[in-house]
Structure 1
Amino acid sequence: MKLVLDEEEIWIIECIKEAHIDCGFHVRDVIKKAKARYGLSRSTVYEIISYLEFHGLVKTNKSGNRELDQSISYFIVCPVCGKEVPENEYIVENGRAICEDCYLEEHQRIKFADPMAVRSKKLFRKSHGLEGTEGLTDIQKDLCEFIQTEGAVTPEKISTLFGLTPQETKNQLAILRHCELVKWRQIGDEICIVLFDS
């Protein structure tokens, strides 16, 4: 049976890892950490530790102390993308356990309107003799061609047609903006992407 833990159970696992010393962990240390960090009550901590013991994730060692059983695997459900992630492939940040992909996507945002990035990209492209779509990735070239064909397109439409997440779309468009190939334009009630020279 696959063990899938919820958010509070992951919090307790993280507190156990911090409270764990060579001979195991003491529940009172876990309670202190869980109460201070997540506001969990003593009874909730005991309930979750009992649940983890029932599933074998927490066991009593030869010294009579509790410890995590590293041989028992568990999963979490990423709250962002909804996929099940093994215990060694998630990241806890601000109390949220998310998969590595969602973590990277949240932290790799490129600013669309960044004057320093525009200047840097222009100098780089000029020094390497790159013009138009030269030096771009295939997806960036396809985006430029699509925007040229459509005239004006919303980022949502790009995400849907190219199978990109909204953040991936924003990042790709930001790079094209830094190359001064595209820009934002309000058309009616919509904010659209158009070619830079239009």
Structure 2
Amino acid sequence: MLCQKCNCEIPVGEEVKHRGQTLCEDCYVELLEPPRSCDVAAVYSAKAARKAAGQEGTDGLTELQKDIYNYVKTEGPVTHDQIMKQFNLSRLQLDKNFAILRHCELLRGFRENGQVLVTIWTQGGPGEMNMG
């Protein structure tokens, strides 16, 4: 059986019915709880976990997250469309990775001239905002 959202194969018995669609578990969870980049509890948890693990900067991130961070650091501020194009990501993939980078206070979004831009995290910069 195939997921009607992502077209991935769903093992027998692991499909989830949601609003008339047959979904894999990942797509179902994403519908119920989409990534949120602006989440105070997640920021607190990420910072505490990274501190306890002795992690700083891009320590503990996936290679993709490190690459996104370095791209924004080098080329930024950039739009989410530029990031998606650079790394061939869907919006959902970007949202998931941006949320982690935001929770680690490495990247942030801000609005300038009606456009949402992503830049490296700095204290006291333009107002933070959600990527959405």
| Range of TM-score over shorter length | 0.7 to 0.9
Higher helix share: 1
- C-alpha deviation, 1:110, in angstroms: 2.5
Indicate yes or no: 2:17 matched with 1:102.
no
Structure 2: gaps spanning 5 or more residues: 126-132
Structure-2 change in CA distance of 1:121 and 1:76 (3 Å): closer
Deviation at 1:148, TM superposition (A): 0.6
Indicate the SS of the match to 1:169. Answer: helix
Does the CA contact (< 8 Å) of 2:47 and 2:103 recur in 1? yes
Structure 2 contact 3–10 (Cα < 8 Å) conserved: no
**Number of residue pairs matched by the alignment:** 122
**Can you give the 5+ residue segments of structure 1 that lack an aligned partner in the other structure?**
1-74
1:120 equivalent to 2:45? Answer yes
1:185 aligns to what SS in structure 2?
strand
Paired with 1:95 and 1:196, the residues of 2 have a C-alpha distance of 41
Structure 1 residue corresponding to 2:79, chosen from 151, 154, 165: 154
| Pair 1:134–1:76, CA change in 2 (3 A) | closer
Instruction: Provide the residue aligned with 1:174 in structure 2.
Output: 99
| Cα displacement (A) at 1:157 | 2.2
For residues 104-160 of structure 1, the C-alpha deviation after alignment (integer angstroms, 9 at most, x for no partner) is 443452311111111111111112221111111111100100101111122222223
TM-score, with structure 2 as normaliser: 0.76
- Inter-CA distance 156–107: structure 2 relative to 1 (3 Å threshold): farther
Q: 1:134 to 1:90 in 2, by over 3 A?
A: same
TM-score with structure 1 setting the length:
0.53
Q: 1: CA distance between counterparts of 2:61 and 2:102? A: 12
Structural RMSD (CA): 2.5
The alignment partner of 2:105 has SS state of coil
Q: Percent identity?
A: 34
Paired residue for 2:17? 92
Partner of residue 13, structure 1: none
Which letter maps to 2:110? R
The answer (yes or no) to whether the contact 1:132–1:181 under 8 Å persists in 2 is yes
Ranked by relative contact order (alpha carbons within 8 Å, sequence separation 6 or more), the top structure is 2
- Whichever of the two has the greater Rg, that structure is 1
